[in-house]
Structures are given as C-alpha cells and as structure tokens.
Amino acid sequence: MTARILRVVALLLVAVILVGQPAVASAAERSQQERRAGPLVMRYVGAEDAGGQAEFAWYASAVEQAYQEVQDVFKGAFEEAGTNPREEIVITLYGDDDAYARANPVAGREEGVLGHAQPSEGVIGVAVARLRDKSEGFRRDAIRHELAHVALGDLSLQKLPIGFQEGIAQYLERDIDQRQRFAATVRRGREAEQLLSFTDLNRRRPFLSNAGLAYPQSYSMVVYLAERYGFGKVVQLVTTFREVSAPDDAVPQVFERSLAEIEEEWKAFLPGYLDQTWARNDLDLWGLEEPRRLLADGKYAEARDLYDRADALFAGLNRQDKLALVQAERQRAVSGLEAIDLTHRGMAALSTGQYAAAADLLTQGERRWTALGDTRRASLAALAITQARDGHAAVLQLDEARRQLDGWQFHAADDLAYDAGQVLAELGDEARTQEATQIMRDAQQLRTRLGLAAAGGGMAGVGLLGVAWAASRRRRPTPVATPPGVAVMERDWSL
C-alpha cells in the first residue's frame, strides 16, 4: 500500500480531532440551510439548488439517526456518570470543498481528511464534497465516528487519550471492508516490527506521526478489550478518566492489569484476530438483526451463540431494557435446539422400535416446532408421531395375538398377527415382523393338527357305528365310510 493510500486509510473514515482549530466557516460562508432536531443544529454550506437541498436533506436525516445510535450505546454510561448529553451539537456539512479547506486547514493539506470534531465545543465538520463518491454506509460511518468523539469527550471530561478515543470511535463504525484493511495494516506493522507501544499509542504526537498504523492498531486494541473484558468495561474505562488523567492510573482500576500487561495480552490475541476474528464487533449485535435472521432461518445454535454475546454486551452496559428483549428471543433459539434434540431422539427411538418413547419425544418436539412457527418441521414431527403410535398399537396387537394363541383362539390370533405384521413391516421392524409371521404359522399349524386329530377321531367313530349297524342289520350292504376333508386356509400375505 503506497504512502498516499496509508494516509487515506488513516484519515478517510476517521476524523482528526482539531483542538483549537476553527470549526465553523466565516459568516459569508455560513450555511444557506439549517435544521434543528433536539440538541442537533445542522448547517449546510454549498449550492442552494435542488441538488444541494437534496444532499442536505439526506445528511440531516443521517445525522439524526447516527446521533440516536451513538446516544443509545452510551446511554447507560451517561446515567451512571450522573451527567446528561450536551444540549447542543453543531454539525456543519460542507458541500463546498474550498469552504471546508478554509474551516479546517489540515484538510487543505490532506485530501484524505473527511471530517473533524472539537469535542470540547460540541462542534463537528463533515467534508460532504469529499464523500460524494463514497457508499452510503461509508458516509454514515463518518458521521457516527464524529458524534462518538463528542460523546466520549463528554463522558471523560475531555481527558480520554487519543488511542482509546480513536479506537472506540472506530468501534462504533460498521464497515467490514475497513476492518479488513485495518487487519492487513496491523499485520504488516507487526511483521515489520513497527507497532506502537500502548503508551505511545495514547500520546498525541507519536499517534499522529504514525497515523497510518496508529488508527488500525488503536481499533484492534479496543477489539481485544471488548472481546476479553466486554465492551461495558471499555466504556467504564472512558468514565474512569473523569477522575484520573493517565492511562497507567485508569487501566488498572478497570481491568486489574497494568497498561503493559494489557499490551502483552493484546499481542497474544493478535494472531487469531488477524487470521480469523478481525470482522467481529459486538456492536454489530446492537439491533439484533443477525441473530433474528439466524433464528428465522432455523439456525438455532448460531442464533443462541449471538444472543449470548448480545446478553454479555447489554449486561456490561447495564441496559436492562435490551437484556429483557435478548433473553426472551434467546429462549426461542433454545426452544429450537430442544426441538431438534427431541426430534432426533424421537426418530432414533422410532427406528429401533421403541414406539412409546418415540411418540412421547416426538410429541414434545412437535409442540416446540409449532410454538416456533416452524410448520414444516412440525408437520414432519406429526407424521413421525403417527408412525410411532401405529407401531405402539401394533406391538400391543402382537402381544394380544400371542395371548389368543395361548388360549387356542387360532382365528383371532391369526387376524391380530396379520394386522400387526403389516404395520410393523411398513415401519421396517424386522424382528417383530418375523414374530408376527411366526404367530400366524403357529396358529395355522395348531389348527391343522387339531383338524387332523378331529378327522381321525371321526373315522374311528364312524367305524364303530358301522359295526354296530351291520350287526343289527346284517342283511343290508355295509356302506363305505368317507372321512370328511379338512381344508387349511392359507393367507396370501408376504411382508
């Protein structure tokens, strides 16, 4: 990356905090348009034509939204500090580049400067003319960043050091591409052994002298602190500077580590951050859009994990209103995981012929799918429940068939075994299907034996009767006795 690109990376989305620099244009250059919204005073310096009016309208709306987002993040901190956000913030939107260069002399020397802030004065300037070719998300980040500086200044009584100031302001941005660029820059600085110590990172002169590396490094520092200790602790560090002035005093109070120890921990954290976790930022969870999307897609484990991170975030910031919402939605993800587990266990029980247990597990799963509104999975569970109940009924029929057989009720045993066997065959229950077949065979064999025995007894009786009849009526010819036939009815049934 060339030196020019490094300067752009350092200054493109993030502002130079210009303490003592003029922040508003001269009277002749003051905005042709002005809008007030709560504490916000938004002024536009530029063309008065329809294009200028449309541009001002977009930025005014974006400023109002960004202000609400920033204040929402720091709401708990202001309450705990016992202070209120400032009553007026003046944001001048420079649609004219010459006017911006006059308001911010640094911008006249550095084209990559896109904005500036004077937190102590509650004054912000945005180089709208230089942002016209940027994406909407890029422009919103630039505004959000400047407003974060004002809030951080108020929370720390303007004593927050530059490294923490810039790192936290960047943590409120959302541009994934910037995070990737920052990780690449920190990687190169690490390989070249050019990373700043955390002490120098929080000193104005070393920071601005190495801005191309210092901005990305300060962001990675805050990412580490938020990952390891929670973003709530990072905000607590900000308010701690109300009482102390030096990082060496504030850091141990919050993290129970010295600044040097925190730096060593950060160095151990870097490899994983540079290779895998550079895109992760807990403030991305503020609106809960991603866990809700995962929940709607049925990705319950992923949704639960994000809700857990959001829970830790809001707990650290003492946002009970957000916590209640997270916990309610997290329970839906937990219910989804329970439904998956119950369904899997139920299907496993069904496949092994444990029909009563399967029906119970699947019924519990189906209730959860229904409560979650997952009609497809609820329908599949309901179908499996029917199979489990049919299987259980068939097992009971099979037991009854055995009892009927033991009681020599051959027809009943045969019928019950036949009906049960059909169901069990469809369920793939080979062992019980064979048992049903055996009961039918036993019933038919016993019936056949009894039939033969009865036929034999009948022939003997007929013979005796014939002898007696012949003796009594010797003159009549002796008729030939024909034994009755016994037909064994076979069923044409194959499982």
How far is it, in rounded angstroms, from Cα 31 to Cα 41?
11
Domain boundaries, the chain: 3-302, 314-397, 404-469
Q: Are 391 and 355 in contact (CB under 8 A)?
A: yes
Helices (H), 82-160: 97-103, 105-109, 128-131, 136-156
What Rg, from alpha-carbon coordinates, does the chain have? 41
CATH architecture of 3-302: Orthogonal Bundle (1.10)
Q: Which residues of 86-96 are buried (b: 16+ CB within 10 A; e: fewer)?
A: eeebbbbbbbb
Using CA atoms, how far apart are residues 72 and 234, in angstroms rounded to an integer? Answer: 16
Count Cβ atoms below 10 Å from residue 151 Cβ, excluding itself: 24
Count how many Cα atoms sit within 13 Å of the Cα of residue 58 in the half-sphere of its side chain.
Answer: 13
Q: Measured in whole angstroms, how far is the alpha carbon of residue 53 from the centre of its chain?
A: 41
Q: Tell how far CA 223 is from the center of its chain.
A: 20
Helix H or strand E segment including 178:
helix 176-191
What's this model's pTM, rounded to 2 decimal places? 0.78
Beta strand 16-17 with 89-94 is unpaired
User: Around Cβ 148, how many Cβ atoms within 10 Å?
Assistant: 26
- Each residue's pLDDT, cut to its tens digit, for the chain (495 residues) gives 444 434 344 444 444 444 334 444 444 344 458 999 999 999 999 888 888 999 999 999 999 999 999 999 999 999 999 999 999 999 999 999 999 999 888 887 877 888 999 999 999 999 999 999 999 999 999 999 999 999 999 999 999 999 999 999 999 999 999 999 999 999 999 999 999 999 999 999 999 999 999 999 999 999 999 999 999 999 999 999 999 989 999 999 999 999 999 999 999 999 999 999 999 999 999 999 999 999 999 999 999 999 999 999 999 999 999 999 999 999 999 999 999 999 999 999 999 999 999 999 999 999 999 999 999 999 999 999 999 999 999 999 999 999 998 988 888 989 999 999 999 999 999 999 999 999 999 888 887 887 676 555 544 443 433 433 344 434 444 444 433 322 233 443 333
Cβ–Cβ contacts within 10 Å for residue 364, how many? Answer: 17
